[in-house]
Structure 1
């Protein structure tokens, strides 16, 4: 990779990963309504959603936790799996409100530290610890309503690094990780204004749980494929990260055609007052939700989409570069 490309990518990370320029166990029964997986989970789920900024305190850096959760927590004895979220560089949780609210509408409790540097994944694990304490506190709205045995991590850009690092360091407590727009490993060695951004991740160290690597085709720093094998140049793309992840771990990768690096923050349809939005978040919703329904709620209908070659993900025209080692 030339020096000019590296410098361009570094500048792009600062521009696109920042909040300054960004767009704004429950039931184990499968969804068997005859609809496609993507069609089912792209739509809003059956739960009304409540969200709250600064719900509780704090991660080890003093940042409060924001939450999204089903309004009628624990209805019919349901226990809600937990998703812990990691923001992109300089971004804040509520910039991802549409996505995180969508996940909560499918019965998940989502928590995110309002932390602009999330690459270590530490604050993501601290958020999980916070909710586990809430589940055991009779005075909490979350008391005995959480499925604390089914926890996943998701994150965007630097937060994608954090999601993978959280899964690696969790000792198997996280069932799955979903890194979205994961930057190439070369990015963690570039000079940055804040040393806290210089965090990398090694997919070879992931030995438990499962992982879904997702990127948009027009992200300049989260590439789909790479010119040389990962063992020669490191994991510089979704292809590289997928290849470096041990085959003992259930793993999938796919590229959504069209979106840029920050469309995961956008609203569907890209409103005119959101100039940084190209395609918006809509195209991501079905696959991301289905993956969590499979891995955290045991949904067989959702699981079927990710089976290598035969799964629905491989026939969706909006997606490309699909790969999976899940065979049944």
Structure 2
């Protein structure tokens, strides 16, 4: 039994090494089905929100490694007394915030202020927390555009790949300050133990969802990613969380949690603008199919949107009836 389980993880690791070595994501085995939203919540939040958006690279300095913060925010900050929740973003390995511009602008159009350290090593989560601290200081600074416009009690963390690891680590280390976490394409734990030659040290940082004690978490992945599988070859208790299913199972039931897999996309489709970037043979369908679910979750958890909340109720929420999604699970009951 042990050799069979080990072989499953080794095969997964071998596929991952092939992907990283090629410089592009592996093509999914089947073409992506149409993933246009067919239900009201996802359709609503797949569309651009009501706020015009301002974005600025290098807005402020700096995280502990000296990397500046990029920001996306509603242009008319604080209009009608609005207090804007904060979302801190973590990049994937070797990626930069501008590569996620379409997604981060979309979130800002729904009233969030998004901050991202321009740092390719975000797995520890500390850089993401430093972004939150920076915005809290801005909220108290009369000379800042953000002065008294931020809802500092409602903070979310999101990230892609290594940044997904960082989003969980930031939440665990935040002492309850982060209320909502969305890891996108969270690598299986085998990735942080591979010991690949010339691997970036940040790629050896793991995360342990069992340490989550507060907040809420939504695990999201695309079905075409070999780095972030949907399901486990064996229970996570035996081999660790190696998939969205494994991380979901290892997350305490005391924490509100959900997971879902978008059928088709590969590991880097989340960087789409909104379709597939030019000259990216690994991209299947781009970011568009992710937008509604990701935004609805944050609208529920950080803005108290009851319409969005209903989509994630176990069994009856509209997420469970979407043909573009699979591997859905939730412990949210009402």
Above 0.5 in TM-score? yes
Q: Does 1:8 align with 2:8?
A: no
In the alignment, is residue 44 of structure 1 matched against residue 55 of structure 2?
no
Does residue 63 of structure 2 align to residue 63 of structure 1? no
Structure 1 spans left out of the alignment, 5+ residues: 19-34
Aligned mates of 1:14, 1:306 — CA distance in 2: 37
Q: Which residue among 126, 133, 138 is the counterpart of 1:129?
A: 133
Counterpart contact for 1:229–1:240, Cα < 8 Å: yes
What displacement does 1:9 show?
Answer: 1.4
**How far apart are the structure 2 equivalents of 1:313 and 1:4?**
31
Instruction: Tell me, in whole angstroms, the C-alpha distance in 2 between the residues paired with 1:229 and 1:255.
Output: 18
| Alignment partner of 1:249 out of 251, 255, 266 | 255
Report the Cα offset of residue 278 of structure 1: 1.5
Paired residues in the alignment total 312
8 Å contact from structure 1 (residues 17, 91) kept in 2: no
Structure 2 residue 178 is the aligned partner of structure 1 residue 174:
yes
Contact 1:16–1:262, Cα closer than 8 Å, also in 2:
no
Give the superposition deviation at 1:239: 0.3
Aligned with 2:178: secondary structure?
coil
Aligned twin of 1:306: 312
Task: Tell me the equivalent position of 2:233.
Answer: 227
Helix, strand or coil for the counterpart of 1:52? strand
Q: Per-residue deviation at 1:269?
A: 3.2
In the other structure, the counterpart of 2:214 is 208
Asked if 1 retains the 8 angstrom alpha-carbon contact of 2:191 and 2:203, the reply is no
Runs of 4+ in 1 over 6 A off after TM superposition: none
- Aligned-pair CA distance for 1:296: 0.2
The Cα of 1:190 is off from its aligned counterpart by 1.0
Deviation at 1:277, TM superposition (A): 2.5
Evaluate the alpha carbon distance shift between residue 16 and residue 170 of structure 1 in structure 2; reply closer, same or farther with a 3 A threshold.
Answer: farther
Q: 1:122 to 1:258 in 2, by over 3 A?
A: same
Name the residue aligned to 1:139: 143
Counterpart in the other structure of 1:23: none
CA shift digits 1:144-171 (9 cap, x unpaired): 0000000000000000000000001100
> Contact (CA 8 Å) 1:17, 1:90: kept in 2 or not?
no
Q: Does 1:83 align with 2:84?
A: no
Q: Secondary structure at the match of 2:270?
A: helix
The 3 A distance-change label for structure 1 pair 17 and 120 is farther
User: In 2, Cα distance between the equivalents of 1:291 and 1:8?
Assistant: 31
> Alpha-carbon deviation of 1:276?
4.0
Instruction: Provide TM-score, normalisation by structure 2.
Output: 0.91
Gaps of 5+ in 2: 1-5, 26-38
Task: Single out whichever of 212-221 and 271-280 deviates more from structure 2.
Answer: 271-280
Partners of 2:96 and 2:66 in 1: how far apart?
Answer: 14
**Aligned partners of 2:184, 2:22: CA distance in 1, in Å?**
17
Per-residue CA deviations over 1:203-236 (Å, capped at 9, x if unaligned) read 0000100000000000011000012110000000
Q: In 2 relative to 1, CA 84–7 (structure 1 residues): closer, same or farther, beyond 3 Å?
A: same
CA contact (8 A) 1:17 1:157 kept: no
| 1:149–1:173 contact (8 Å) kept in structure 2 | yes
Structure 1 residues 17 and 60: CA distance shift in structure 2, 3 A: farther
Aligned to 1:238: 244
Report the CA distance between 1:274 and its aligned residue.
4.5
